[in-house]
Amino acid sequence: MDTLFPDSEVFQKERPTNITEQQAQDYYRGVAEEIIQNGWSKSPIEYIIEDVSEISEHDSGYEIAKELESFKKASYRIETPFIEFLDDFGYNKGDILRENIRAWAAATNPQPKFTKGQKLIIETDLNYEQKKGTIIYVNSIYTEDACYVVDEDRERQGGYMIAYEKIESRCSVIE
C-alpha cells in the first residue's frame, strides 16, 4: 500500500517533549481501571481519573497516597500494594514519552554529529552537574533514542543520556 507522505514528513521535525492529551487521558483511565480492579477504590471511575490526572509524576508512591487520601474527589484504601503501584506512576507515564521519542527517531532518523570516544568541552551548562568548561567524552550513542551517553570519565561504561541536539548545541570537540 502506498502512502501519501513518507513517515519522516508525517512526524514532527523536533523531538517530542510531552505526551499527547489523548495519550494522557488513556493513561489516566488505565490507572483508574487498575485502581478499581485491585479494590483500592470503589468511587466512580470519573472521580479517580480526575484525581490521578492531578498527580505529580515526581512524587513517591507514599507522597501520592497521602495526597489522594487527604483532599481528592474519590476515596481510596491505602495499603502497601497501592503505594507500590503509585511508585511506578511517573515512570510508567514517562514510558509513553520514551515510546514517542523512539517513534520520532525511527521516522526522522536523526544522525549524531559526534562519534563514540570524542572529547568534548561543554560551552553552555547541560544540567546542574555538567557545567560550562567541563570536559566530557561520548561513551555511547543510542540511535533509537537519538541520545549520546556522556561522562567525564572516558573509561566509564555508562554516563548521562542526553539528546543529540542538546549536546550538539552546547558542546564542541576538542583535540
In a domain, residue 104? The reply is yes
Final residue of a structural domain among 108, 143, 163: 108
**Number of domains the chain is built from:** 2
Predicted structure pTM score: 0.80
35 and 98 housed in the same domain: yes
Least confident of 9-13, 87-91, 141-145, 171-175: 9-13
The pLDDT of residue 12: 62
The pLDDT of residue 130: 85
The pLDDT of residue 4: 41
80 and 135 housed in the same domain: no
In a domain, residue 81? The reply is yes
123 and 101 housed in the same domain: no
Across the chain, mean pLDDT equals 90
Q: What is the mean pLDDT of residues 127-137?
A: 89
Residue that the C-alpha cell 508512591 belongs to: 61
Least confident of 4-13, 28-37, 83-92: 4-13
46 and 68 housed in the same domain: yes
End-to-end Cα separation, the chain, in angstroms: 50
30 and 89 housed in the same domain: yes
43 and 84 housed in the same domain: yes
In a domain, residue 51? The reply is yes
125 and 104 housed in the same domain: no
Confidence of residue 72 (pLDDT cuts 50, 70, 90): confident
Q: What is the mean pLDDT of residues 60-84?
A: 92
Confidence of residue 57 (pLDDT cuts 50, 70, 90): confident
In a domain, residue 10? The reply is no
100 and 30 housed in the same domain: yes
65 and 125 housed in the same domain: no
139: which 3 cell numbers? 561513551
Q: What share of the chain in percent tops pLDDT 70?
A: 93
**Domain residues for 30?**
21-108
Final residue of a structural domain among 108, 141, 165: 108
Please state, in angstroms and rounded to a whole number, the distance separating the CA atoms of residues 53 and 22: 12
75 and 143 housed in the same domain: no
Q: What is the mean pLDDT of residues 78-94?
A: 95
Please state, in angstroms and rounded to a whole number, the distance separating the CA atoms of residues 14 and 35: 35
